[in-house]
Amino acid sequence: MKIVVIGGDGQLGSDLVSAFTANGDAVRALTHSHIEIANPASVSCLLEEIQPDVIINTAAMHHVENCEREPEKAFAVNGLGPKNLAVVAQSLNAVLMHVSTDYVFDGSKGSPYTEADNPHPLNTYGITKLAGEHFVRSNSERHFVVRTSGLYGRNPCRAKNGLNFVELMLKLGKERPEVRVVDSEVVSPTSTVELARQLVQLSRSDSYGIYHATAEGSCSWYEFAQEIFALTDAPVRLKAAESGEFPTKVPRPKYSVLENQALKARGLNICKHWRDGLRSYLEGRTHVRIGSDKYLTAPTTPNRT
């Protein structure tokens, strides 16, 4: 199939390009220099030229604080951008796979969210991402809306200053004798490599609709950091941060665990446990100790444009 990955140089996008290429698909990676999803003319002109079978959208304005400061821009990118893609996808009879977020929920449920649960976002980012979901569902018959959570991958993430949570912990572990991490927020940390493989699997289905796709299991950020340091034998003291120690400017869900119910119901779920995803990620880094004295060499990672 002919695949277009929008945001193909990003943290998730780069692994999607690799996964679909490895699957034998013809893949075109589009970056912000190629396409502006908030501009209908930019979207229609380029995609009508390419004539893709599947359009995968990973592009978003996902810096939560910036979304609060610039809600109009956030809505243009996160809401109207997916609408523009959906309209063109429908006209081309192409499948649209749109990546969304756990932030469409408020985190008050206390048990894993399924696709049947009603969204209730707490902030502008979540509201605009939910708007994007609605636009996709309303304008494209052949669509997959895929919500995920706690992403980390080899390629830098601009919204996180180039460091995902794993890299940040490893960096702080080298610089400080003690690291403090919040224990009050629960997620399902998900490797972008594993998510990309899941999206390849899903793309072969015609069971369109909303899907949750995250690693199995859940943990707090403190427990995730604990596993990172344990697997790498890092000589650092890890402590749970006290309540209010790291105040946030924007409300966020405290419980962001998603259940891959729709994937499992259709026999499509291939997501591993988050511990397995973390181990695979660490084994792909250069000179990181996993368990005993085993050192591994990482493959070459793609450069950002």
Dist. CA 257–CA 106, nearest whole Å:
11
221: nearest Cα among 187, 265, 177: 187
- The pair of structure tokens assigned to 227 is 């596993």
97 Cβ contact partners less than 8 Å away, ≥ 6 residues apart: 54, 55, 56, 57, 143, 144, 146, 199, 202, 203
> 3-state DSSP call for residue 227?
helix
157 in Cβ contact with 228 (< 8 Å)? no
- The pair of structure tokens assigned to 209 is 């609709």
* Neighbouring-strand partners of residue 239: 180
Dist. CA 191–CA 37, nearest whole Å:
25
- Residues annotated as part of the active site: 125
- The pair of structure tokens assigned to 218 is 């859940």
Could you tell me how many residues make up the chain?
305
117: nearest Cα among 105, 129, 131: 105
Dist. CA 292–CA 281, nearest whole Å:
17
**How buried is 116 (Cβ within 10 angstroms: 0-12 exposed, 13-18 middle, 19+ buried)?**
exposed
191 Cβ contact partners less than 8 Å away, ≥ 6 residues apart: 151, 152, 153, 215, 277, 278, 280, 281
- 277 — phi, psi (to 5°)? -65, -40
Helices and strands (H, E) in the chain, number of each type: 11, 12
Dist. CA 147–CA 129, nearest whole Å:
10
